[in-house]
Amino acid sequence: MKISIITAVYNGGDAIIATLESVAAQTHGEIEHIVVDGGSTDSTLENIQSNKSRLALLISEPDDGVYDAFNKGLRRATGDAIAFLNCGDIYASPTVVSQMAQELSHPEVEAVFGDVLIVDALNHARVIRRYSSKHFTPSRMKFGLMPAHPTLFLRRQIYEDVGEYDAHFRIAGDFELCLRAFARRNTRYRYIPEAFVRMPAGGLSNRGWRSKLEITREMHDACARDGVPTNFVKLCVRFPLKMLEML
């Protein structure tokens, strides 16, 4: 099974090196790694050129945000299944992609995902919390629960059925895509209780209470758009669960 991995980056500096090396270290033989750069002005492009041993394609041009970048990668991806690993994120072991491909080789499995370790941005050995996908079900998306997106591998057919990411969203575009894939399409999935990705803290959705309020508002808008009844109180249920992940 051919797996396409799409990495979005803008002014990632040295952080892109770890992501490229992580994909290059994967034992799975059929990997198509696509990097979509938003027109970086720092050392990102130089670092990509110096560490492109398994890179299939580099797109470098201005974009309208991370979900626009995702869509550029999707349009060029040729894999049987597609995953996203953003700049700075790394796979927890060299066998992650082969394990996901093995799960997707079963005809009844259209999507597979696991957990993410959120690590200290300066000390990646220190785990801050484990973002677990074990509580996810499509019916719980009204509470803001979704699979850990960096671990999510979807068959190409799902994107053909539900479409691209909605680039109008700034933070919750992955949540809205999952609404279409799981709450509306009824995608058949498998959760594996393992940590597959290590992600440095400080992403768009983890920058204090202001970003949490913004993503909650975007989630509410996404649910309204996709016909999933919810309210702000329900969407805030996910916050106590996240606090428990730190214990």
Nearest-angstrom CA–CA distance, 21 and 95: 14
Class of domain 3-244: alpha beta
pLDDT band at 244 (very low <50, low <70, confident <90, very high): low
Contact yes or no for 246/129 (Cβ under 8 A) = yes
pLDDT tens digits for 196-232? Answer: 999 999 865 555 567 889 999 999 999 999 999 999 9
pLDDT tens digits for 138-173? Answer: 999 999 999 999 999 999 999 999 999 999 999 999
Q: Is 217 exposed, middle or buried (0-12, 13-18, 19+ CB in 10 A)?
A: middle
Q: What is the mean pLDDT of the segment spanning 118-132?
A: 92
Q: What is the amino acid identity at position 101?
A: A
User: Which residues are registered as beta bridge partners of 59?
Assistant: 36
Exposure b/e, 178-194, CB count within 10 A at least 16 = b: bbbbbbebebebbbbee
Q: What is the pTM of this model?
A: 0.93
Q: Is 7 exposed, middle or buried (0-12, 13-18, 19+ CB in 10 A)?
A: buried
